[in-house]
Structure 1
């Protein structure tokens, strides 16, 4: 029963956040009562599910579309609720057997598998595309080629990535929680792994919390609150964690073309809306708004604070250089995660009798991808410096009677 409760609460929380975000974005007005299926598709994509866009416009026409994006607000909500449900029965215990822990995780995994299959089967819909009164509109009426666009879910890939997501959440929950028991063979690793994992979770959540504050100020001062809340409920971590990597000096590449609009600050849209692939980093952003250099300051403060927190939770005998190395590895892994889940790719188009880009905004492209290895390298450098300084700052707060190791 506890496993059922944990899975149902996770699905309910994710569906609620997705539904509110889609409602704020105007998806409640979709035809054919498709709102529920779009919510299911959003939840499926939030755990790594594969959503395929489909189209048809008759024998003389061709439609093409694709979408790859994780709504990380929904993802984060599900991860937090599921982790809490997984850890609840394990509280107030010093150790646990590997078999018992695997059995508890296995019961959740079986129920989660059934939930993923249900989501994948529910998340499919087809819509008729209104192309207006332009050239393509006249041609489609003439030859009776009404374009349709829909989405479907790849069941196998959704189940595979959804189970990998589940495994990642459960492992991270065990690593982060001080009160969660570990099998006896793994207890020795908690001293080196748990403080670093906890620090990275705090760092990522702090970025999201700052993003919420910025979003609320934006909604109060610049209007369009529905659009702002749609971003908060669907993709705020996408933006907050992107800003974290940019503040480290990372570079992303992307492009916005056609009617696509980015649910993010206008300066990003300015940089990316170019004829060719654009480079997105602090330098290119500063050409439009010099305030982006404050991202460096914010990152420095956040990293130093989380490095201090990690050191305060680490035994005093650990030397500062080792603390710096652990923090650097943890930050590099966090940056890698952001680079993997923060990618965006979307495109669509309609061509009729070989004629495309007619009829007013019937094609578009949006993508955003990182320079992964350089971002990881920057994460290592920042982590070494912040980790070392954090260890030095944490020395006065260590437990009384402990003798600090030499740097």
Structure 2
């Protein structure tokens, strides 16, 4: 018995249809993985990771991709009594993750846009195919994301002693398979759920249709806000690379962690805060005012007040957030069905921005530490950045409510001043009528 995908779809047998769906899943997984690998390679090349000894560049690329899913990397090593090293890092290179998420979500949804409806069982089957292939990718990456190399101390006596004893100091890193698969599949589930939530054209299973009006316009507007913030940071990063004197470092940040800084700026501009410190000889590429605030041996608060104390231009983050949020509210309301009242818009955007700020806080956290001992002498460093969710999430909800209310009032006024024929109403109207029927 054949299956029909849509107006221009071809009829295929059961075997051909299943093979085609596996092909679609493989295309989505392969394209997303390739995009993430290319982004990671470019960022690490600019960061100078190609100078790692003993062929360490490939493993560090694999580790970077796994870290983009949230998997932690551990650092360890040693050589009898000569040297020892321990540490670890949990930090998400969000440029890598965002590129992969956007491409994977788009390719996952694209085949379903040809369908008038989609069943819950079919949607689950499509997600299961992608998850099965994704789990294989995660296992392969975790196998590749491990490497160790010999440390040349620069002290002839120490190096010669280690060689004579067969115990030259080594340092290595690895991402364990268990956390890699667990975090990677969790990342995949969140990406597919968000892709379905923000898409205005992909049909929903019947049990989920009632969430269309409440979720999709607000989710789409919030995602657009986050992507616009990341996009605005690109020219700023390029200007910094051109005139700041640290071109390679700035380009490395663009390809590895630009959304980290952009979304941190959004959260701080909205009144949210983080806390942390950067101590010892460990450092992270970040703007000077941010580094100056965090360069302490104790946890300090990172918010608009502490940033302004370092650079008064930080107040521009508040102005940018106000403008961006108001535009987001108007855009959401204009793409929603006209019958949705302003108070509903306020509720929908408040919920969407509260969830977004929760995710931003979790995605921008950093925990990094290392310790190195060498013949009784040692050094260490640490970098910590954690969100204050008790300020960040309520700030998102409050701003969402205000922007949603003002956006709803503005959209209603625009519609009254410029009424449009039924056939020119937003796409949601048609889906809303389908839902009602």
Which category describes the TM-score, using the shorter chain as reference length? over 0.9
Aligned residue in 2 for 1:76: 98
Among residues 12, 18, 32, which one is paired with 1:10 in the alignment? 32
Match of 1:157 among 176, 179, 197: 179
Q: Tell whether 2:223 aligns with 1:223.
A: no
The secondary structure found in structure 2 opposite 1:91 is helix
Tell me how many residue pairs correspond in the alignment: 394
The residue aligned with 1:100 is 122
Deviations 1:312-359 (A, max 9, x none): 1112222211211111111010000011111111111123565433xx
CA contact (8 A) 1:55 1:65 kept: no
Query: Which of 330, 335, 344 lines up with 2:352 in the alignment?
Result: 330
- Runs of at least 4 residues off by over 6 Å: none
The answer as to 2:410 corresponding to 1:400 is: no
Find the aligned partners of 1:179 and 1:367 in 2 and give their Cα distance: 41
Q: 1:85/1:168 Cα in 2 relative to 1: closer, same or farther (>3 Å)?
A: same
Alpha-carbon separation, structure 1, partners of 2:161 and 2:410: 75
Bigger mean CA deviation after superposition, 21-30 or 84-93: 84-93
Correspondence for 1:315: 337
**Counterpart in the other structure of 1:234:** 256
When the two structures are superposed, what TM-score results if normalisation uses the length of structure 2? 0.86
Which of 382, 387, 390 aligns to 2:399? It is 382
Of 123, 129, 137 in structure 1, the residue corresponding to residue 151 of structure 2 is 129
Q: Which residue does 1:86 correspond to in 2?
A: 108
Q: 1:391 aligns with which of 396, 408, 421?
A: 408
Q: 1:335-350 residue pairs with structure 2 within 5 A?
A: 335-350=357-372
SS in 2 for 1:149: strand
Pick closer, same or farther for the CA change 1:283–1:138 going to 2, 3 Å. Answer: farther
Distance 1:131 1:225 in 2: 29
Q: CA deviation at 1:222?
A: 1.9
Q: Which residue of 2 aligns with 1:38?
A: 60
Give me the whole-angstrom Cα distance separating, in 2, the residues matched to 1:60 and 1:34.
Answer: 23
Instruction: Kindly provide the CA deviation profile for residues 264-290 of structure 1, in whole angstroms up to 9, marking residues without a partner as x.
Output: 111111111123222211111111100
Once residues 141 and 321 of structure 1 are traced to their aligned partners in structure 2, the CA distance between those partners, rounded to angstroms, is 74
Which of 213, 217, 237 does residue 195 from structure 1 map onto? 217
Q: Tell me if 1:293 matches 2:315.
A: yes
Which position in structure 1 is the counterpart of 2:386? Answer: 369
Q: Is the 8 A contact 2:346 2:402 kept in 1?
A: yes
Query: Aligned with 2:172: secondary structure?
Result: strand
Q: Which has the larger radius of gyration?
A: 2
What are the ranges of 5 or more consecutive residues in structure 1 without an aligned counterpart? 358-362, 403-407
8 Å CA contact 1:63, 1:147 repeated in 2: no
- What's the counterpart of residue 189 of structure 2? 167
Distance 1:138 1:252, change over 3 A: farther
Shift of 1:49: 2.2
Q: Is the 8 A contact 2:70 2:90 kept in 1?
A: no
Q: Once the two structures are superposed, what CA deviation does each residue of 1:97-117 show, in whole Å capped at 9, x if it has no partner?
A: 111111111111111111111
Instruction: Answer whether contact 2:152 2:159 (CA < 8 A) is retained.
Output: no
Output the CA distance in 2 between the equivalents of 1:330 and 1:280.
24
TM-score for the superposition, normalised by structure 1:
0.92
1:281-300 CA distance string (max 9 Å, x none):
11111111000000000001
| Residue matched to 1:405 | none
**Structure 2: distance between partners of 1:384 and 1:175:** 19
Deviations 1:17-58 (Å, cap 9, x if unpaired)?
000000011111111111111111111111222322222232
- RMSD between aligned alpha carbons? 1.8
2-side partners of 1:19 and 1:352: how far apart? Answer: 32
CA contact (8 A) 2:74 2:173 kept: yes
Gaps of 5+ in 2: 1-22, 423-437
Query: By how many angstroms is 1:259 displaced?
Result: 2.4
- Taking the aligned partners of 1:183 and 1:370, their CA distance within structure 2 comes to 36
- Select the structure with the greater relative contact order (CA < 8 A; seq sep ≥ 6): 1
